Amino acid sequence: MSSTHEGTFEALRAQLQEAAAAFADGPDALEGIFLGIVDDVDRAVREPLEIFPVCHHSPASAIAMARRLREKQPKVVYLELCEDMAPLLTELRNCRLPVAVQAFATEVDGFPAEWSPLSVVAPITEASAEYQAIAYALDTPGVELVLVDRSSDHVFQWDARKEHSAEPADPESPPAEEQAALHGDAVGVEIGDLRPRFADLEEHLLRHGRVRHWSEWWHQYVELPLGDSDHDTYRQVMFLIGSLFRRLAPGDRHRVRVDEDRERYMWARMREHLAATGTDPADCLYVCGAFHAAGRVEEFGVHGTDTFEISPRSATKWQHGLIPSSHAAIEAQFGLAAGSVSIAATVWAKNVRRTRVEPYRLEGQVGAKKAKAKKTAAAASPVPAAPPSDKLTGFLQQPPVLDRLDETELLSWSVEIVRAARRGGYLASTADAIAVFETSILLAGMRDRAKPTPYDFQDAAVTCIEKDTVPGRRDVRRLVEIMMGGDRVGQVGYDALPPLARDVHDRLAPLNLKLQQRGVQRALLDIASQPELERCSDLLWMLRRLMPQGAARPIMGERGLGERPIQESWDLALGTHQRALIELGYEGVSIEQVLEQRLRRAAYSPHATAATVLEAVEDATLYLGSRRLADELGTRALEVLSAERSVDGAPDVLRRVRRLVAYYRTSEPVLPSWIESFVKTGYAHYCTLLPTAFTDDDATVRQVAAMLGFLFSMESLALSLGCDRTQLELALAQSHPQDPPKTALLWAAQVQLGRLSRADLRARCDELLGNPLVVPAYPRYLSGFVHALEPVPGLADFVVEAVSNAFGRLPDPVLLPWLPTLITTLRSGGAELAPLLIREAGRIFPGRLAALDEWVPPWRAQPEPEAVHPARRADGSRACTLLVAHPAACDAVASLLGCDGTWTADPCPPGAALAGRHPDTAVALEVLLAGA
């Protein structure tokens, strides 16, 4: 088959040759581009299998598609969409658009592990030609819909092939993250992506079109002219645009090469289907992006000679589902201007009313009208198409359509934006509405437009209303976007949800809330009077653990080990976070299974630490109540702790081990074997690391204090399990810190072990305060004493004494800079120590201001000696009389105290001599006997 036909586009060829000669000094290159574009258009329109080029989310493409489907009534529709997503398309009738078809894989096999999770999405809106084709094929009996683009697995296979290719990278090619459009965190499948990849061309089009961004240029120069065009004109113009952008991409050779491979893939699938079914190509329609439609169909097409081998899929298990999408997400994926998809939806509704074309819509979809009669496919063969004629030349030569100004529409826009601005806090009035109306017409005239576009209106509204400040949360540009349709967010219906999401909705049914509704809803759980709500509480806590912040937020109530809920209050926004809930369904069939998988994944991760594994143990006990899983993860925590060579996670390990030991002691008859082994191993492990940690600059004071806290708080349990306290004593003897905070921490540990008395510790602190060279560093010693409250809480009174002495004796230049450091230290690393310190200070210091003047610190108070003790009075005191009357009692006390002899009537008997030397004892004995 010849690639060109004489006479079809000869007039256009001649004009382009003249233009190339007029605008270029060397016309060969430019003439080659121009004539190559004409050849691409000619080949595409003559392909036996009709190619329908589209631009994604283009109202003109959607209108042309709906019109063509009703005219042609094809029996097979080939669609550029991942072939593995076909089973999901029937579920679109249970959704409210826009939604996205998603393929998701958490466990990869055949791809780099760091790529996980893999995700591919393809958004679909009502104002897209692809949706019209899907609705037609699914609701018309006898019509087959075949997806022909790469599978989700092949999308990442090609990325892996590109990454490991030995071919040198193209320096002018954009990086991979720029080549792959995004939709959330997923690779976006760009159905019908049509944007110039030649930066100079785009800049030229924007400058001469007097527009700011590509979306506005497309709306002005493609959407509006093609909105009312016939089928042949539409196809030829789209072929022309696709070929132009394809040929003017000199620095994107790799991207063009990938696109050609995609085209070969799709044509190979179509040839396979035609050969297997025997369908006549004249009864088929191929829907693809205009960029692909202008490809080398003479090689890849139905009668082409291309042989393309499709590689088998990898062993990765893919999950498929529908997720909510939004206009903003689609704009981000395709690099469109903010608000452009909302404007396209408005233009689509207007085109439907103006052209009276009846669009296709899936039966049963939210908002769809009930069909009066079932549509049937045409039984007779379609009438053979007439030879293609040149509609392109006339379209390019026709002057701009002078569409009259729709004053009613523009006036309604002006009134609505003023009303919205006043609600947003702007001081707008009727005069501003008139100004917006007139300015829109003025801007359109300055830009050579027959009528104002929504973009002209948006600029006029910003100019006339916003002025210099934004009083509310939204500026005028955002208000216009909302007025034009806003960021419409889709919703996946209950029947289209994965089993996990449906199970969540069913289990939360007792709350009597509309969980699919967007926004925040308040749930009140009185579990004391309705015990059946406890299951809802358990599920909500698991959702809080797995879903993004804000999906399930507790207002009242908490979940702790060994605690049972009584009353709870929740703010739920599951409808807003529907996508996150759906993606949980890709990981398992129940929320408990997903949580267990994630806990295992966290525990067995190569980067797992003892603290993270203990957190998984705690969550398994707290949320799942699974002793089996807790024991398994606890054994894993023991392995990780034994392999650790740093003390970074010591604070978290201490906090979680304390909670788990306290929980098992109160809820179990004996401690689990893994936690006994963990304490025993941890005792020896931290004793070994302690000397190094005291001298290591990377180990913080808080971490060393946590190690000591583990050793001291778990010491009784560790010793009962066979550990030797000598390990700890030797570790402290081998520790020689140079840092003041760690030195203070070592002193506190020696006090706990009895190696250092409090008097000696007080003397050391006084010596530090008395040394002018050490005084500037004294606050750092105090920081160490504050952290010492973790392993040695009994030193709380001494820490209060040390801090008080510092406030009384340190000079202001030293004390004042230290105070912010102390506060930030307590707030960041010792929040749990502050209450202990404050409680002890409240016990020591007077409670009233009046008593402060006469208050003497207990560490300074000394007993005042009496001049004459009552036991030594010469006038025959009652104490001596009592001792004389009962000599046996006095002799017994004397013998007990080590004084031999008996009580006699001598002037100075042994008992009397003893009582004289120890008058306090005599007085105490007198009080004791008097009480008896």
Residues 834-854: pLDDT tens digits?
777 778 878 888 877 777 777
What would the mean pLDDT of 73-101 be, rounded to a whole number? 89
DSSP string, 746-791: HHHHHHHHTSS-HHHHHHHHHHHHH-TTTGGGHHHHHHHHHHTTTT
Which of 585, 582, 646, 574 is closest to 610 using CA atoms? Answer: 646
Distance in angstroms (rounded) separating the CA atoms of residues 806 and 744: 15
Q: What is the pLDDT of residue 253?
A: 62
Q: Hey, what are 130's tokens?
A: 């692809």
Distance in angstroms (rounded) separating the CA atoms of residues 900 and 923: 21
Which of 581, 586, 596, 592 is closest to 505 using CA atoms? Answer: 581
Q: Hey, what are 274's tokens?
A: 């035609």
Most confident of 8-12, 215-219, 698-702: 698-702
Distance in angstroms (rounded) separating the CA atoms of residues 246 and 40: 10
Cα–Cα distance list, 311 to 123, 150, 189, 314, 410 (Å):
26, 11, 20, 9, 55
Q: What is the pLDDT of residues 132-170, one digit of tens each?
A: 999 999 999 999 999 999 888 888 887 766 655 544 444
What would the mean pLDDT of 184-211 be, rounded to a whole number? 60
Query: Which amino acid belongs to residue 494?
Result: Y
Q: Hey, what are 229's tokens?
A: 């065009």
Let me know if 438 is exposed, middle or buried by CB neighbors in 10 A (0-12, 13-18, 19+): middle
What would the mean pLDDT of 872-887 be, rounded to a whole number? 53
Residue 78's H or E segment, with its range, is strand 76-82
Q: Is the pLDDT of residue 171 over 50?
A: no
What single-letter DSSP state applies at residue 531? T
Q: Is the pLDDT of residue 872 over 50?
A: no
Q: What is the pLDDT of residues 765-808, one digit of tens each?
A: 888 888 888 888 888 888 888 888 888 888 888 888 888 888 88
Q: To 10 degrees, what angle do helices 758-770 and 778-787 make?
A: 150
**Chain centroid to CA 831:** 27
3-class SS of residue 888: helix
Distance in angstroms (rounded) separating the CA atoms of residues 94 and 174: 39
* Higher pLDDT among residues 274 and 406, named by residue: 274
* 130: Cβ contacts below 8 Å, ≥ 6 apart: 54, 56, 79, 80, 81, 124, 191, 192, 287
Q: What is the pLDDT of residue 47?
A: 85
Q: To 10 degrees, what angle do helices 673-695 and 627-643 make?
A: 30
Distance in angstroms (rounded) separating the CA atoms of residues 78 and 133: 9
DSSP string, 325-370: -BHHHHHHHHTPPTTHHHHHHHHHHHHHHHH-------TTSTTPPP
Q: What is the pLDDT of residue 251?
A: 54
Q: Hey, what are 252's tokens?
A: 């994107």
Distance in angstroms (rounded) separating the CA atoms of residues 339 and 793: 61
* Helix, strand, coil tally for the chain in percent (to 5): 55, 10, 35
Which of 606, 599, 652 is closest to 629 using CA atoms? Answer: 599
Count CB-CB contacts under 10 A for residue 627.
Answer: 12
Q: What is the pLDDT of residues 395-434, one digit of tens each?
A: 666 665 555 566 788 888 888 889 888 888 888 888 889 9
Give yes or no for a contact between 245 and 200, defined as CB atoms under 8 angstroms apart: no
Distance in angstroms (rounded) separating the CA atoms of residues 145 and 89: 10
Distance in angstroms (rounded) separating the CA atoms of residues 494 and 688: 58
For 113-202, strand residue ranges (E) read 118-124, 144-149, 182-183, 186-188
Q: What is the pLDDT of residue 185?
A: 40
CA atoms within 13 A on the CB side of 433: 15
Give yes or no for a contact between 292 and 80, defined as CB atoms under 8 angstroms apart: yes
Distance in angstroms (rounded) separating the CA atoms of residues 884 and 907: 11
Q: What is the pLDDT of residue 859?
A: 75
Residue 276 sits at the vertex; the CA angle it makes with 272 and 282, to the nearest 5 degrees, is: 80
Q: Flag the least confident range among 6-15, 50-59, 482-491, 819-828.
A: 6-15
Which of 734, 52, 95, 10 is closest to 390 using CA atoms? Answer: 10
Paired with 82 in beta bridges are: 149
Count CB-CB contacts under 10 A for residue 31.
Answer: 18
Distance in angstroms (rounded) separating the CA atoms of residues 779 and 769: 10
pLDDT-derived band of residue 173, with 50, 70 and 90 as boundaries?
A: very low
Q: What is the pLDDT of residue 76?
A: 93
Distance in angstroms (rounded) separating the CA atoms of residues 75 and 50: 12
Residue 135's H or E segment, with its range, is helix 129-139
Count CB-CB contacts under 10 A for residue 399.
Answer: 5
Q: Hey, what are 871's tokens?
A: 């036991």
pLDDT-derived band of residue 587, with 50, 70 and 90 as boundaries?
A: confident
Sign for the CA dihedral angle at 190, 192, 197, 201 comes to negative
Which of 212, 75, 43, 235 is closest to 143 using CA atoms? Answer: 75
Provide the Cα torsion 242, 244, 250, 252; round to 10°.
-10
Q: Is the pLDDT of residue 197 over 60?
A: no
Backbone φ, ψ for residue 195 (5° rounding)? -150, 135
Sheet holding 319-324, edge to edge: 182-183, 186-188, 118-124, 99-105, 319-324
Which of 371, 390, 321, 377 is closest to 102 using CA atoms? Answer: 321
Backbone φ, ψ for residue 323 (5° rounding)? -125, 150
Q: What is the pLDDT of residues 449-500, one digit of tens each?
A: 777 888 888 888 888 888 777 787 788 888 887 777 666 788 888 888 888 9
Distance in angstroms (rounded) separating the CA atoms of residues 703 and 647: 6
Backbone φ, ψ for residue 79 (5° rounding)? -125, 135
Distance in angstroms (rounded) separating the CA atoms of residues 450 and 538: 63
Q: What is the pLDDT of residues 699-715, one digit of tens each?
A: 888 899 999 999 998 98
Alpha-helix runs per DSSP H in 830-909: 834-844, 878-885, 887-896
Q: Hey, what are 635's tokens?
A: 């054994």
Distance in angstroms (rounded) separating the CA atoms of residues 450 and 445: 7
Q: What is the pLDDT of residues 320-361, one digit of tens each?
A: 888 888 888 887 777 777 778 888 888 888 888 888 888 988
Sheet holding 567-572, edge to edge: 521-526, 567-572, 552-556
Which of 199, 263, 258, 217 is closest to 53 using CA atoms? Answer: 263
Cα–Cα distance list, 125 to 97, 348, 362, 742 (Å):
6, 11, 12, 63
Distance in angstroms (rounded) separating the CA atoms of residues 129 and 52: 10
Give yes or no for a contact between 103 and 84, defined as CB atoms under 8 angstroms apart: yes
Distance in angstroms (rounded) separating the CA atoms of residues 481 and 426: 17
Cα–Cα distance list, 769 to 662, 701, 784, 813 (Å):
41, 22, 16, 15
What would the mean pLDDT of 60-80 be, rounded to a whole number? 91
* 750: Cβ contacts below 8 Å, ≥ 6 apart: 732, 756
Q: What is the pLDDT of residues 618-667, one digit of tens each?
A: 999 999 888 899 999 999 999 999 888 888 888 899 999 999 999 999 88
Backbone φ, ψ for residue 521 (5° rounding)? -125, 145
Q: What is the pLDDT of residues 502-558, one digit of tens each?
A: 999 999 999 999 888 888 999 999 999 999 999 999 999 999 999 998 899 999 988
Q: What is the pLDDT of residue 182?
A: 31
Residue whose tokens read 């954009």: 174
Residue whose tokens read 């809106």: 125
Residue 96 sits at the vertex; the CA angle it makes with 92 and 102, to the nearest 5 degrees, is: 50
